[in-house]
Amino acid sequence: MTNISASLMNDDNTSSRKLFTNSFQRMANGHKGKHICDICHRMCKYKSERMEHYKIHTGEKNFKCDVCSKTFSRKSTLNIHYRIHTGEKNFKCDVCSKTFSRKSTLNIHYRIHTGEKNFKCDVCSKTFSRKSTLNIHYRIHTGEKNFKCDVCSKTFTRKSHLTSHYRIHTGEKNFKCDVCSKTFLRKSNLNIHYRIHTEEKNFKCDVCSKTFAQKSTLNIHYRIHTGEKNFKCDVCSKTFAHASTLYSHYRIHTGEKNFKCDVCSKTFLRKSNLNIHYRIHTEEKNFKCDVCSKTFAQKSTLNIHYRIHTGEKNYKCDVCSKTFAHASTLYSHYRIHTGEKNFKCDVCSRTFSIKSYLNKHYRIHTGEKNFKCDVCSKTFAQKSTLKGHYRIHTGEKNFKCDVCSKTFTRKSHLNSHYRIHTGEKNFKCDVCSKTFLRQSTLNNHYRIHTGEKNFKCDVCSKTFAQKSTLKGHYRIHTGEKNFKCDVCSKTFTRKSNLNAHLSIHTGEKNFKCDVCSKTFTRKSRLDVHYRIHTKEETH
């Protein structure tokens, strides 16, 4: 009797010993040359093979690994297992040169190259190269999830998924990129990441030929062509092409913002938005325009900027046919036609058609001026205003009137000036119906009706409706006279006073009395003269 037989006979387990004895006796009584297992009826070529096989039924595992103490029923299986510790991989694929510790694993791997899939799901007819993969897949249909996380109780269909998930709780990232040293929870994520360095894109769209680093990304992209949107929001019924987009959208309804900036504590709906926002603090700008070399924090912003060079304006207003480079600009413009103003200031209740306008307006109340000129240290509430101001120092005037050739530092100033030639006055006072060339002039005029005087002199406490008037008044205290007559060299505190004075030299009298037709060099003198006629009427 072999050592294995003796081991079974000496087993403390009576049932195992009895099972072996009966089987052995039957073999001795007439099955010479036929080594058949009387439990599962498997036929073995050799008696020793049958003895090894029999341990499957008895559960006997006599071969122990001296590294990790795992036990095996066969020495050959122990030898194979031992290669895990030694790293020995003797079986090489002759197609891709990948090596394996077991021949059986090589055979399974080889099916990737042959495309052989012999294991078919009897529910959905999907085929697999491995039986184990079919068994795992089958749990999708049964809903079976046998692997439970002992931290959060989440269940999984595969042990490997549970193992990967568990690292979320431990924070363990064992898979490190040997190029940039970034670490990952899963090897699959590392493999995907590695394609960034190799620029490998093996997955090609058969519609538009665009290539992708991941098959999953190709599948998601493909929905652009099919128009498939299988993910529906159960609150507003909006549909999405991707589950991840639905999850992100759903937070709009819940108000959930789980992604917090560790610098300024601002929270975001999506991690991608947090990552983009974080570049404000790092000042990281990785996306460079190949035309003007300007850099941007976001690729999408670079794409939008690039349209400046191409002149591309794909977004057309269906009301006035005006075209725009950006969809967002079209949406904002469209509110001019609808009169829609959804953005309300919670301080003064003023409403705006664009959120950015509200944000800019809000700085009036906060007094916040974050944009500083590096020449004269003057601060501004808006970046665009700083850029316009900076041209005072550079003398740059890029905006030219095509009627009179006058140049301006800002486009808005050119647009305002151009109305002098067209006579266009689009800004109307809703109190007295007077019209103006500029919105700013209307705003100043409106204070006549409200009596609002927000600009106060810090010397004499006199208040003014306009900031420019305060500046002019302030020169009375400083004695500053910056406006000089180039004829007689007389200086004035205000430009308007200089213009009025200049008419003495030119003889120009633009102010005419509509009663007696007498003309004057200044409006103030006309006003004084006019009282002659009003006094006559009262007597």
357 Rama sector, left if φ>0, alpha if ψ -120 to 50, beta otherwise: alpha
- Judging by DSSP bridges, how do beta strands 63-64 and 71-72 pair with one another? antiparallel
Per-residue pLDDT of the chain (539 residues; tens, 9 = 90+): 444 444 444 445 455 455 545 544 544 444 455 688 888 888 888 888 888 787 778 878 888 899 888 888 888 888 888 888 888 888 899 988 888 888 888 888 888 888 888 889 898 888 888 888 888 888 888 888 888 889 888 888 888 888 888 888 887 888 888 888 888 877 878 887 877 787 778 888 888 888 887 787 888 888 888 888 888 888 888 888 877 788 778 778 887 888 888 888 888 877 878 888 887 787 788 888 888 888 888 887 888 888 888 888 888 888 888 888 877 788 888 887 888 888 888 888 888 887 878 888 888 788 788 888 888 888 888 887 888 888 888 888 888 888 888 888 878 788 888 888 887 888 888 888 888 877 878 888 888 888 888 888 988 998 888 888 888 888 888 888 888 888 898 888 888 788 878 888 888 888 888 889 898 887 888 888 888 887 655 44
CA 185 to CA 162: how far, in whole Å? 12
DSSP category for residue 101: S
Total number of residues shown for the chain = 539
In the chain, the amino acid numbered 194 is Y
The upper half-sphere exposure of residue 218, i.e. CA atoms within 13 Å in the direction of its Cβ, equals: 15
Token pair of 140 as six digits:
């999708």
CATH 3.30.160 fits 3-78, yes or no: yes
Q: Tell me if 361 sits within 8 A of 347, measured CB to CB.
A: no
CA 202 to CA 207: how far, in whole Å? 15
Of the CATH numbers 3.30.70.360, 3.40.50.150, 1.10.357.10, 3.30.160.60, which one belongs to the domain with range 201-284?
A: 3.30.160.60
CA 236 to CA 252: how far, in whole Å? 11
- pLDDT for residue 536: 52
- pLDDT for residue 488: 92
Report pTM: 0.29
Q: Tell me if 329 sits within 8 A of 354, measured CB to CB.
A: no
Exposure string of 384-408, with b = 16+ CB inside 10 Å and e = fewer, is ebbebbbeeeeeeeebebeeeeeeb
DSSP 434-457: -EES-HHHHHHHHHHHH----EE-
Give me the sign of the Cα torsion angle 219, 224, 228, 230. Answer: positive
- pLDDT for residue 361: 83
Task: Report in angstroms the alpha-carbon separations of 259 from 116, 237, 279.
Answer: 45, 25, 15
Break the chain into its structural domains and give their ranges: 3-78, 201-284
Residue from 457, 486, 480 nearest 469 by CA:
457
CA 1 to CA 252: how far, in whole Å? 76
Q: Which residue has the tokens 């003023």?
A: 350
- pLDDT for residue 15: 52
Q: Tell me if 293 sits within 8 A of 303, measured CB to CB.
A: no
DSSP 314-363: -EE-TTT--EES-HHHHHHHHHHHH----EE-TTT--EESSHHHHHHHHH
Residues in Cβ contact with 221 at an 8 Å cutoff, skipping those fewer than 6 apart: 205, 210, 212
CA 60 to CA 71: how far, in whole Å? 9
Q: Tell me if 473 sits within 8 A of 464, measured CB to CB.
A: yes
Q: Tell me if 497 sits within 8 A of 480, measured CB to CB.
A: no
